Amino acid sequence: MQHPLSLYNTLTRRKAPFEPLNAPFVGVYLCGPTVYNEAHVGNARGPVVFDVLTRYLRHLGYTVRYVRNITDVGHLEGDADEGEDKIGKIARAQQVEPMQVAEGYTNLYQNHMEVLGCLPPDITPRASGHIIEQIQMVEEIIKNGFAYESNGSVYFDVPAYNAAGRGYGKLSNRVVEELLAGSRDNLAGQEEKRSPLDFALWKKADERHLMRWSSPWSDGFPGWHLECSAMSRKYLGAEFDIHGGGLDLMFPHHECEIAQSQACNHPTDEARVWMHNNMITVNGAKMSKSLGNFITISQLFDGSNATLAQAYSPMTARFFLLQAHYRSTVDITDEGLQAARKGYRKLMNGLRLLEKLREFSLSPDVIRARTVAPVAEGKAPDTAAADAELQKLVQDCYTGLNDDLNTARAIASLFNLLRKLNGFAANPATLATVSAAAVQEATNAYQTLVQDVLGLVDEPRASAEDLLRLTLEFYQEAKATKAYDKVDQIRAALKQQGIVVKDTKAGVDWAYSEE
Residue pair 101/87 in contact by the 8 Å Cβ criterion: yes
Tell me phi and psi for residue 25, to 5 degrees. -85, 140
Tell me phi and psi for residue 385, to 5 degrees. -65, -45
Tell me phi and psi for residue 206, to 5 degrees. -90, -175
Q: Which contiguous run of DSSP H or E holds residue 6?
A: strand 6-9
Residue 228 known to bind ligand: yes
Per residue, the 3-state secondary structure of 258-282, as one string, reads: HHHHHCCCCCCCCEEEEEEECCEEE
Contacts of 237 (CB under 8 A, 6+ apart): 27
Spatial separation of the C-alpha atoms in residues 40 and 505, rounded to whole Å: 50
Spatial separation of the C-alpha atoms in residues 380 and 138, rounded to whole Å: 74
H-helix segments, 176-218:
176-183
Residue 253 known to bind ligand: yes
Closest CA to 66 of 121, 137, 109: 121
Residue 289 known to bind ligand: yes
Q: Which amino acid is at 265?
A: N
Strand-pair category, 285-286 with 280-282: antiparallel
Residue pair 381/434 in contact by the 8 Å Cβ criterion: no
Residue 118 known to bind ligand: no
Contacts of 337 (CB under 8 A, 6+ apart): 308, 312, 316, 317, 320
Q: What DSSP state is assigned to residue 84? A: -
Q: What DSSP state is assigned to residue 342? A: H
Annotated binding-site ranges for ATP: 289
Q: Which segments are annotated as binding site? A: 31, 228, 253, 257, 289
Q: Which residues are annotated as a binding site for Zn(2+)?
A: 31, 228, 253, 257
